[in-house]
Amino acid sequence: MKKKLYPIAITIAGSDSGGGAGIEADLKTFAALGVHGVVALTSVTAQNTYQVTGIHDLPPEMVARQIITVWEDIGIDAGKTGMLSNSEIIRAVAETVSKLGFPLVVDPVMIAKSGAPLLRPEAMNALIKYMVPIATVITPNKHEAEKITGMKINNFEDARKAAKYIVEELGATAAIVKGGHIEVGEESIDIMYYNGKFYEFRAPRIVDGCTHGTGCSFSAAIAVELAKGRDIVKAVKTAKKFITMAIKYGVKVGRGACPVNPMAWIEIPAMKYHVIESVKEALKIIIENQKLFNKYIPETGSNLVMAIDPRYAETINDVAGVKGRIVRYGDGVKIVGPVEFGASSHMARLVLTAMKYDPSIRSAMNLKYDEKLVERAEKKGYIVVYIDRRNEPEEVRLVEGRSIPWIMETAFKKVKRVPDIIYDTGDVGKEAMIRVLGKTPVEVVYKALSIIRE
């Protein structure tokens, strides 16, 4: 069969007005993982990160109609269910999906992170009776698995028993008991039972991440991979990586549990591409003006760096620079290696620290110290700060990597903003240096050129 350019995944779920869970999380997940998403809305919730203030269920016929209407024109390769709210909706969905016969991931949503019930008590039996048997994969958390099986789940052994029971006694093809709430340790471990075997999916537990919408986004990611034709084990593996990233780089908004960020999956690689291109563009300007730059390349070489967006930048691996630095070469300069993430440590740390004070300052370059450059910078009206490295505290000197943040912090304290230029006149074993900061590498290079040119 010819591979489809656009696999289609459907979410049959409720809307979260806060944009964190429900169909909003699902559609973001579908888009980020590269399928076309379609929707059958079950309920509208008035919800934010800490409470649900209203629920309005759609008529069951309307839910079924959405699925059928999409199916007959666009087709559906796989789907997921989220909030189904009441037993009539459950019956309508189960009946419709069974007729159409596409693979289905069932996220047996019962309670929101905020504690609000999203499934009416009368619907619990319908969920077990109608949804579990048609699930290709069902993804209960600890609490949901307890409700479905009537078992107590306190550890992974219990989780195994529950997963097996859901498959062998209740009729799901595969059951994953999610470990988000079981044995809170270093890892978040999900247990799957499928085809007579147990599988474990592990990821580091994220302590200060965002968890509103984790279950929705995780089940949506599995549905995407099934829509692409992947087998169940591969689908869950990808979904696990995906959800871990979405939790880690969550959308830090609201007073309650902040929403997961399914866009991180594509935004980070996209930003990395953009950053590399931006540094390369600025390097071209350096090469065009290499004779001017020659005199101002430090003995230890220069680097030009740019960080990805401050929402995502954490370590020097999130900052791109020139591998092997920029060095003097004849009467010009040489860009020694490729532009890579993690290629710079000093300039990268400078930018990472600067971004804490001003998130828009994402780029920097260092030049050899020359008092003429400092004079010109001051004349041009740049904010220029001098740092006396002899004042560097002992505890900063002794720890590798602490000096640069100290320089940035000290400079910020002096002028209450991130300066355009920070310079020092060196110390024993430390070369005197000028550091030019700015929003983009092109801006930084032009700033540098404007003080280099006589």
Ligand X SMILES: Cc1ncc(CO)c(N)n1
36-47/339-341 β-pairing: unpaired
Q: CB under 5 to 8 A by kind: which of ligand ATP, ligand X, none does 206 bind?
A: ligand ATP
Largest CA distance in the chain: 83
211 is catalytic: yes
330 is catalytic: no
Spatial separation of the C-alpha atoms in residues 211 and 228, rounded to whole Å:
26
171 is catalytic: no
Residue 45 touches ligand X, criterion: CB under 6 A: yes
Residue 214 touches ligand ATP, criterion: CB under 6 A: yes
Contact set for ligand ATP, span 358-417 (CB under 6 A)? none
CA nearest neighbour of 220 among 108, 95, 82: 82
Q: Which residue is nearest to ligand X (CB)?
A: 22
Contact set for ligand X, span 108-137 (CB under 6 A)? 109, 112-113, 118
Candidates 77, 190, 392, 424; binder of ligand ATP (CB under 6 A) is 190
Candidates 76, 84, 216, 348; binder of ligand ATP (CB under 6 A) is 216
Q: Which two structure tokens, joined as six digits, stand for 167?
A: 């498959």
Residue 211 touches ligand ATP, criterion: CB under 6 A: yes
Closest approach of Cβ 186 to ligand X, in Å?
Answer: 24
Contact set for ligand ATP, span 111-130 (CB under 6 A)? 113
Residue 178 touches ligand ATP, criterion: CB under 6 A: yes
Q: CB under 5 to 8 A by kind: which of ligand ATP, ligand X, none does 118 bind?
A: ligand X
Q: Which is nearer to ligand ATP, 100 or 233 (CB)?
A: 233
Spatial separation of the C-alpha atoms in residues 178 and 166, rounded to whole Å:
13
Candidates 8, 10, 21, 76; binder of ligand X (CB under 6 A) is 21
Give me the catalytic one of 215, 250, 321, 438.
215
- Cα distances (Å, whole numbers) of residue 235 to 53, 105, 223: 35, 11, 8
Q: Phi and psi at residue 343, in whole multiples of 5°?
A: -75, -20
Residue 80 touches ligand ATP, criterion: CB under 6 A: no
Task: Let me know: does 139 contact 163? Beta carbons within 8 Å.
Answer: no
Candidates 7, 19, 22, 103; binder of ligand X (CB under 6 A) is 22
Task: Let me know: does 162 contact 151? Beta carbons within 8 Å.
Answer: yes
Spatial separation of the C-alpha atoms in residues 389 and 141, rounded to whole Å:
55
Measured in whole angstroms, how far is the alpha carbon of residue 96 from the centre of its chain? Answer: 35
Closest approach of Cβ 263 to ligand X, in Å?
Answer: 18
CA nearest neighbour of 221 among 270, 261, 276: 261
Give me the catalytic one of 216, 256, 321, 353.
216
Spatial separation of the C-alpha atoms in residues 418 and 407, rounded to whole Å:
11
Give me the catalytic one of 213, 250, 321, 438.
213
Candidates 7, 14, 19, 60; binder of ligand X (CB under 6 A) is 14
Instruction: Return the H-helix or E-strand segment holding 334.
Output: strand 332-335
Residue 93 touches ligand X, criterion: CB under 6 A: no
Q: Which two structure tokens, joined as six digits, stand for 410?
A: 């000290």
Spatial separation of the C-alpha atoms in residues 232 and 385, rounded to whole Å:
58
* Other CB atoms within 10 Å distance of the CB of residue 197: 9
Residue 448 touches ligand X, criterion: CB under 6 A: no
Q: Phi and psi at residue 447, in whole multiples of 5°?
A: -60, -45
216 is catalytic: yes
Strand partners, 397: none
Kindly write out the interface string for residues 190-219 of this chain, putting x where it contacts ligand X by CB under 6 A and - elsewhere.
-----------------------x-xx---
Number of residues that bind ligand X (CB under 6 A): 17
- Cα distances (Å, whole numbers) of residue 202 to 25, 192, 211, 243: 22, 11, 17, 11
Closest approach of Cβ 150 to ligand X, in Å?
Answer: 22
Spatial separation of the C-alpha atoms in residues 361 and 379, rounded to whole Å:
22
214 is catalytic: yes
Closest approach of Cβ 320 to ligand ATP, in Å?
Answer: 28
353 is catalytic: no
Q: Helical H runs in 75-171? A: 87-100, 124-126, 142-149, 156-168
Closest approach of Cβ 101 to ligand X, in Å?
Answer: 25
CA nearest neighbour of 12 among 38, 46, 48: 38
Residue 215 touches ligand ATP, criterion: CB under 6 A: yes
Residue 353 touches ligand X, criterion: CB under 6 A: no
Which residues in this chain contact ligand X in the complex, by CB under 6 A?
A: 13-16, 21-22, 45, 47, 82-83, 109, 112-113, 118, 213, 215-216
Q: Which residues are catalytic?
A: 178, 211, 213-216
Which residues in this chain contact ligand ATP in the complex, by CB under 6 A?
A: 21, 109, 113, 141, 178-181, 188, 190, 203, 205-206, 209, 211, 213-216, 218, 240, 243-244, 247
